[in-house]
């Protein structure tokens, strides 16, 4: 169904703002990608440090990265996901953001 | 304060320092890990990149600072809770650079298996590979002896909180419902 802004009485600016708000509030995933350099113990340490994971959980995610090439380590609001991705990049891990809607 | 001192072999390590310095110089202007920031707003992306680079420069400065004139007298480097995190990160940055540049001809399987015999490598790869191993050894020493200091440090507290987001665990278990709860400063 086509959304008719004129009939809805909502100004385009308001629609744009709403779309932005939705993009920011939707669910975003923080995905760590495999790299052949950083050691398993290092990746476990980083997951424990950044996310506060218990060692076993950090190890599970590390093995997932190692074996499957990627692991979703966190999901939630965009702003927070960006902060996590940034922090992981500070630790020189390759981290990307993915929108839940993209998959 | 827990502190470890490592006595190194000068004849082995000294020749590696030039390469470490050269790699470090390149990383003054280049992020070590590949960045995928397409989704990020352009202005924010530049800021993000600049901040990552500044952090990386600081790390590399701390690492290279270990090998000062005193080092050439006593051949000892020391790690403690003040420098453990920054050094372990610097080692990661340098290893990434060595992998992507000097060791690019080696395949991932070879590197990950750890089964490379240095003597079988072409001459031009030996020093970078030794350097790559040396940095990994420093990392492992720090992780083995000072992981608690790193985990208790507060630099990543800003990324953790108690209420937003949920952990996404692909294995489908429910052992992590409280992953972010009560972990501030973990």
Three-state SS for chain A is: CCCCHHHHCCCHHHHHHHHHHHHHHCCEEEEEECCCCCCHHHHHHHHHHHHCCCHHHHHHHHHHHHHHCEEEEEEECHHHHHHHHHHHHHCCCEEEEEEHHHC
Residue A1, domain member (yes or no): no
Q: How far is B70 from chain A (nearest CA, A)?
A: 29
When pLDDT is averaged across residues A79-98 and rounded to a whole number, the result is: 94
Please report residues of B whose CB lies closer than 8 A to that of A41.
Answer: 139-140, 143-144
Interface test with A, best of B167, B171, B175, B185 (most A CBs within 10 A): B167
Residue A21, domain member (yes or no): no
Query: Which residues span the domain enclosing A32?
Result: 27-102
Please give the residue of chain B at the shortest CA–CA distance from A70: B170
Smallest Cβ–Cβ distance between B33 and the set A49, A74, A94 belongs to: A94
Looking at this predicted complex, what is its ipTM?
A: 0.82
Chain B CB within 8 Å of residue A63 CB: no
Contact yes or no for A45 and B143 at CB 8 A: yes
Residue A3, domain member (yes or no): no
Residue-range domain boundaries for chain B: 3-155
Residue A76, domain member (yes or no): yes
pLDDT in tens, A37-64: 999 999 999 999 999 999 999 999 999 9
Interface test with B, best of A40, A47, A49, A63 (most B CBs within 10 A): A49
Of A82, B174, A90, whose CA–CA distance to A98 is shortest? A82
Smallest Cβ–Cβ distance between B139 and the set A39, A71, A74 belongs to: A39
Residue B43: the pLDDT is 78
Instruction: Tell me what the pLDDT averaged over chain B comes to.
Output: 84
Taking chain B (186 residues) in runs of 10, the rounded mean pLDDT of each run is 94 96 97 80 85 97 97 96 97 97 88 81 94 96 95 65 44 35 28
User: What CATH code is carried by the domain that includes residue A33?
Assistant: 3.30.1390.10
Residue A77: the pLDDT is 94
Q: How many CA atoms lie within 13 A of B78 on its CB side?
A: 10
Residue A35, domain member (yes or no): yes
Residue B156: the pLDDT is 59
- Indicate the number of domains in chain A: 1
pLDDT in tens, B121-157: 999 999 999 999 999 999 999 999 999 999 998 655 4
């Amino acid at each position: 169904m086509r959304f008719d802004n004129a009939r809805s009485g909502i100004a385009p600016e308001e629609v744009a703002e709403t779309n932005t708000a939705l993009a920011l509030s939707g669910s975003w995933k923080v995905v760590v990608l495999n790299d052949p350099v950083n050691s398993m113990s290092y990746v476990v340490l980083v997951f424990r440090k950044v996310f506060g994971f218990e060692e076993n959980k950090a190890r599970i995610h590390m093995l997932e990265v190692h074996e499957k090439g990627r692991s979703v380590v966190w999901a939630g609001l965009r702003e927070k996901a960006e902060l996590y991705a940034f922090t992981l990049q500070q630790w020189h891990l390759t981290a990307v953001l993915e929108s839940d809607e993209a998959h | 304060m827990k502190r470890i001192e490592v006595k190194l072999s000068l004849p082995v390590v000294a020749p590696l320092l030039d390469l470490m310095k050269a790699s470090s110089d390149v990383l003054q202007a280049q992020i070590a890990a590949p960045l995928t920031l397409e989704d990020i707003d352009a202005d924010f992306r530049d800021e993000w990149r600049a901040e990552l680079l500044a952090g990386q420069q600081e790390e590399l400065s701390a690492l290279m600072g270990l090998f000062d004139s005193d080092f050439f007298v006593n051949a000892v480097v020391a790690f403690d809770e003040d420098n453990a995190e920054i050094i372990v990160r610097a080692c990661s940055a340098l290893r990434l650079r060595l992998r992507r540049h000097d060791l690019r001809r080696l395949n991932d399987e070879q590197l990950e298996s750890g089964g490379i015999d240095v003597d079988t490598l072409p001459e031009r790869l030996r020093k970078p590979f030794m350097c790559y191993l040396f940095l990994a050894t420093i990392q492992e020493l720090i992780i083995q002896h000072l992981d608690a200091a790193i985990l208790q440090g507060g630099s990543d507290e800003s990324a953790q909180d108690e209420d937003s987001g949920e952990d996404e665990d692909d294995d489908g278990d429910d052992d992590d419902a409280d992953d972010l709860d009560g972990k501030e400063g973990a």
